[in-house]
């Protein structure tokens, strides 16, 4: 697989690190889009929908480049837990996740030559029961900021995880294994 021109349509440093597993060289152009979503889109489809919007937004200005858009959602009982607005919101999210299994869904969209291909990957994550003290100590770290569901599994919140069923990288923000095989199983460098 040799693709020379790749753009990641994301400002996430975690996604940038993960994408290096698939493409050692790529450009980063964050997609500045409105991330509001129609209520009729099921929670399981939101990440893929937003990934498609991001990839297309950046891809329209780079037609001969493979643009990769991605978005990650945390879903508990059909409710999306987005990025917390403040500390109190983060505390509430972690209390909701405590002792329960939730879905982490990452949507990925590949946009090239005016067309796109997309998929999503789901990983089940089960948290231990968390005490108020454990949550408060985590909140002090600031790691919850700018993370769906108010946690990053690759940081201190990794200790909250009792069990994971699926791709660890997917929970961090990009399912590299699936992305690699998805790209290498088709001629993505040609027009889609």
Give the mean model confidence (pLDDT) for residues 115-134: 96
Mean pLDDT computed over 5-26: 94
Q: What is the pLDDT of residues 59-102, one digit of tens each?
A: 999 988 999 999 999 999 999 999 999 999 999 999 999 999 99
Supply the residues annotated as catalytic: 71
User: 138: exposed, middle or buried (C-beta count within 10 Å: 0-12, 13-18, 19+)?
Assistant: buried
Query: Considering the entire predicted model, what is its pTM?
Result: 0.91
pLDDT at 187 over 70: no
As a CATH number, domain 6-184 is 3.90.950.10
Nearest to 149 by CA among 55, 47, 19: 47
Domain positions in the chain: 6-184
| E strands in the chain | 6-8, 27-28, 66-76, 79-81, 101-112, 115-127, 161-165
> In this prediction, what percent of the chain has a pLDDT beyond 70?
95
């Amino acid at each position: 697989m040799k693709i020379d021109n790749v753009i990641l349509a994301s400002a996430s440093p975690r996604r940038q690190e993960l994408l290096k597993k698939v493409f050692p060289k790529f450009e980063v152009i964050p997609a500045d889009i409105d991330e509001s979503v129609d209520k009729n889109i099921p929670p399981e489809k939101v990440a893929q929908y937003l990934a498609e919007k991001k990839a297309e937004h950046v891809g329209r200005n780079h037609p001969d480049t493979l643009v990769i858009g991605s978005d990650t959602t945390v879903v508990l009982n059909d409710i999306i837990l987005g990025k917390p607005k403040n500390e109190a919101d983060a505390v509430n999210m972690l209390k909701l996740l405590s002792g329960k299994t939730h879905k982490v869904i990452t949507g990925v969209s590949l946009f090239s030559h005016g067309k796109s291909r997309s998929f999503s990957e789901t990983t089940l994550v089960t948290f231990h029961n968390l005490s108020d003290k454990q949550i408060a100590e985590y909140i002090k770290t600031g790691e919850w900021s700018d993370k769906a569901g108010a946690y990053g599994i690759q940081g201190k919140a990794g200790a909250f995880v009792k069990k994971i069923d699926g791709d660890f990288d997917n929970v961090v923000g990009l399912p590299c294994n699936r992305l690699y095989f998805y790209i290498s199983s088709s001629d993505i460098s040609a027009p889609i």
